[in-house]
Structure 1
């Protein structure tokens, strides 16, 4: 059964979820300026993007057990305040080493805080309702990376780069205050033999297919974001303005698929839609392979393949999250942490490998995207089959978690 979730709580969860994408993208325009002020190579400052992704994955692994043992509210607030502290200290750094160090603190806080989002949804909803909520939050979250670079650029027009991190500190502190008021109190999970802990999550074999689907579906998105400048600017020689337009086309596609997914959830199960959207992503991958093989220098041949592949994530993430989380009740915090950590870890690893092997060729990027989709679709098919064979068991888990 599902409980009613107030709009104020949904907006809070979306804000927490959007904080990390905003932290990653808002200071991108300032990276060359920061490098100049610190007297280091631009690439060394750009490393902070990877540092954040890794730190956030670790933060989620830390925050998961805390969320189950101490409750969602105190864990989320603590993570947000840690993020705020890291952001504030980053604004005052005078060396690259300190920038890296406080970036780790910021990322750990972001990871600890975000664990509470899927866990809170799982506390209140399962199945189609959970998928709808994940879809709505994902839609709001996607606005952050879309507007974050613009916000950073606007700040740089009138202020120094330090104020970008002051803004992140302020936003996190405000979200923390809101969480203190809006977040419902949850009872800490009692430690029982055989329950809780990452081992218990991994032992739930029926959920692992959906974990694979989430991680490798996200890897497609991360690979595109990492290698898009190589594909569009270096390979096809497009202008910065056209690159922005092509990037926005993917965001629009994600929003359209996201809203379509919400509509279709009235009729279809999340696992069915997950397979459908992964199939759509696979079709996009086939378009990429075909277009680049036939006309490797024709930009408009390959753009539809990228848009289809990336837009499909608007339906993949919400449904895979709902399918995975439905198997976990009292240890939803740990399950959420593992889901996030594996997602970011696989996404960062695949995208980094594609970037390192890329050079001047788009084939490593395309192969990484299509290969990840194939693995994700395989995981979803296996997960859906096991789910259909064990529906009664799933319902028992759902009912037990509501008690």
Structure 2
């Protein structure tokens, strides 16, 4: 029987989830300086962002099944320690090759730790409570990217870029120590119990639609974050100060929808809330469509569409995760690994394609964001229908 998740466990899981956006975004202001210190082109340092994303996906594919077999706490602690040690080494390296190597290893450790978070929530909560916990943890994950660059800039003003990685190392090791004491002792799967493969997770139709919704909701998020500088700074020519303000507007929208989602979950199921917020996201896409067709040079028309799309993400990602993972018990680690890896891989590919297509107009970005919303909505509609049919079949069987 599942028990209510403690506040200390929620804070721990949020801290682990915040580690990734901090690791990605905190060193962005330092990229030109690191490139100068290594005497290389800036792009060769900037590419480590993509390396980190793909390394995270690999770490999740490795850590998820291992957490099913050996338990959540050992794999989370191992991932955090790997992340921490690699962060410490990154602060000491003096060549590009070693920087690349340890950055990749750091991300694999981060992926192993992060993948345990959804599985742990699935182990210790269900239904509406799980959705509320996911919503809170996702809120931390989405706020972290907005403050991480500022933290990195502050560290550089006080010291040097090396301390950005040292701070990551200290943070990871402290969280690993907390995980040892706070993480519940997960019961290992029996050796006689057949393991769940990635293929079997994908083949389970009632959950597949929620996986697709999660992946394409995340792809929309990454597409916007990757291409927002072009949209605002290049296409509309706003100042860097106004750009920061417009970016913060999206964060505010996410916070509002996230808290609204937590409140509405007292009355509605996660599947219902997912459908509602995906509808809002599609509406935001339609606003963007109208903006590029009717008033392509109007900044605030486009901003309203972007804010609606991004704000809706505050309610889609958490509800999609809960709706997907509820179908998997002790194999939640494997399911979580597949979900995490797919959203990172596909998100990176779609956002990268969008960046290549952007030239002097926003239509590729708008079309792809709208397409991601529609795909997620259609997948959820189908998944909800399958789950209703499955529930009705079970009820009919019980009556008979």
Runs of 4 or more consecutive aligned structure 1 residues displaced over 6 Å after TM superposition: 392-395
1:244 match: 244
Q: What do residues 297-352 of structure 1 show as CA deviations (whole Å, max 9, x unaligned)?
A: 11111100000001100000110000000000011110111111111111111101
2:110 match: 110
| Contact 1:213 1:320 (8 Å CA) reproduced | yes
Q: What do residues 266-315 of structure 1 show as CA deviations (whole Å, max 9, x unaligned)?
A: 11111111111011000100111111111111111110000000110000
The within-5 A match list for 1:127-146 is: 127-146=127-146
3-state secondary structure, aligned to 2:160? coil
Under a length normalisation based on structure 1, what TM-score does the superposition of the two structures give?
Answer: 0.96
3-state secondary structure, aligned to 1:312? helix
Alpha-carbon distance in 2 for matches of 1:394, 1:262 = 29
Q: What do residues 166-185 of structure 1 show as CA deviations (whole Å, max 9, x unaligned)?
A: 00000000000000111111
Alpha-carbon distance in 1 for matches of 2:37, 2:379 = 47
1:327 match: 327
1:398 match: none
Alpha-carbon distance in 1 for matches of 2:359, 2:35 = 24
Displacement after TM superposition at 1:92 (Å) = 1.5
Q: Does 1:43 align with 2:37?
A: no
| Contact 1:230 1:360 (8 Å CA) reproduced | no
Alpha-carbon distance in 2 for matches of 1:201, 1:101 = 32
Alpha-carbon distance in 1 for matches of 2:102, 2:69 = 27
| Contact 1:196 1:330 (8 Å CA) reproduced | no
Alpha-carbon distance in 2 for matches of 1:394, 1:334 = 26
Give the total of aligned pairs: 395
Alpha-carbon distance in 1 for matches of 2:192, 2:224 = 43
Alpha-carbon distance in 1 for matches of 2:83, 2:308 = 34
Q: What do residues 339-374 of structure 1 show as CA deviations (whole Å, max 9, x unaligned)?
A: 111111111111010001112221111111011111
- The change in CA–CA distance for 1:134 and 1:394 in structure 2 (over 3 A counts) is farther
| Contact 1:327 1:394 (8 Å CA) reproduced | no
2:70 match: 70
Which of 125-134 and 250-259 deviates more? Answer: 125-134
Alpha-carbon distance in 2 for matches of 1:393, 1:81 = 47
Displacement after TM superposition at 1:96 (Å) = 1.6
1:213 match: 213
3-state secondary structure, aligned to 1:267? coil
Which of 229-238 and 356-365 deviates more? Answer: 356-365
2:369 match: 369
| Contact 1:194 1:200 (8 Å CA) reproduced | no
The within-5 A match list for 1:150-165 is: 150-165=150-165
Alpha-carbon distance in 2 for matches of 1:7, 1:155 = 30
Q: What do residues 110-134 of structure 1 show as CA deviations (whole Å, max 9, x unaligned)?
A: 1000111111111111221111110
Displacement after TM superposition at 1:193 (Å) = 5.7
Displacement after TM superposition at 1:203 (Å) = 2.5
2:398 match: none
1:188 match: 188
Alpha-carbon distance in 1 for matches of 2:113, 2:182 = 15
Structure 1 spans left out of the alignment, 5+ residues: 396-403
3-state secondary structure, aligned to 2:268? coil
| Contact 1:233 1:243 (8 Å CA) reproduced | yes
Q: Does 1:253 align with 2:253?
A: yes
Under a length normalisation based on structure 2, what TM-score does the superposition of the two structures give?
Answer: 0.96
Alpha-carbon distance in 2 for matches of 1:268, 1:106 = 39
1:338 match: 338
Alpha-carbon distance in 1 for matches of 2:232, 2:202 = 40
Alpha-carbon distance in 1 for matches of 2:351, 2:393 = 37
